[in-house]
């Protein structure tokens, strides 16, 4: 199935060494990160450790430090750096002409919390 790309923001909307949150109807939201080399990454805005908001962490190199317990998460894979273990969901991202796109199907389906009834 071909990817359906959805424009979510411009690269310039994301602070260098920071993040921007893409809200979804189904939680948790998605965090889009920009490093010092203007590389763009998209992860679920939830640390695999205690669920901290990765979008509020400090970006350095190709990692983000979770603001709760300082776990380092690889931006390209969503996985914690050793000795910590665990991964958060990674989202496909594409940048064209300064605009950031996410896969629309992934936004609707990946890592959605199901509310118990």
Q: What does the pLDDT look like over 55-96, one tens digit per residue?
A: 999 999 999 999 999 999 999 999 999 999 999 999 999 999
Report how many helices (DSSP H) and strands (DSSP E) the chain contains, helices first.
Answer: 1, 9
CA angle 90, 94, 98 (to 5 degrees): 130
CA–CA dist 105, 94 (Å, integer): 14
Q: Given this model, what pLDDT does residue 111 score?
A: 73
CA–CA dist 34, 112 (Å, integer): 24
Q: What does the pLDDT look like over 99-114, one tens digit per residue?
A: 999 999 999 887 776 5
Question: What are the backbone dihedrals phi and psi of residue 104, each rounded to the nearest 5 degrees, phi first?
Answer: -60, -40
Q: Given this model, what pLDDT does residue 16 score?
A: 97
Asked if the model's pLDDT at residue 1 lies above 60, the reply is: no
Q: What is the pTM of this model?
A: 0.91
């Amino acid at each position: 199935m071909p990817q359906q790309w959805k424009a979510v923001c411009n690269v310039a909307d994301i602070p260098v060494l920071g993040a921007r949150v893409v809200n979804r109807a189904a939680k948790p939201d998605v965090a889009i990160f920009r490093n010092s080399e203007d590389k763009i990454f998209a992860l679920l805005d939830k640390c695999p450790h205690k669920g901290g908001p990765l979008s509020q962490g400090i970006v350095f190199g190709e990692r983000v430090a979770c603001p709760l317990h300082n776990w380092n998460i690889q931006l390209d894979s969503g996985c914690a750096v050793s000795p910590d273990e665990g991964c958060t969901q990674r989202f496909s991202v594409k940048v064209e002409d300064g605009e950031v796109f996410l896969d629309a199907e992934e936004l609707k389906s990946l890592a959605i919390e199901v509310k118990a009834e």
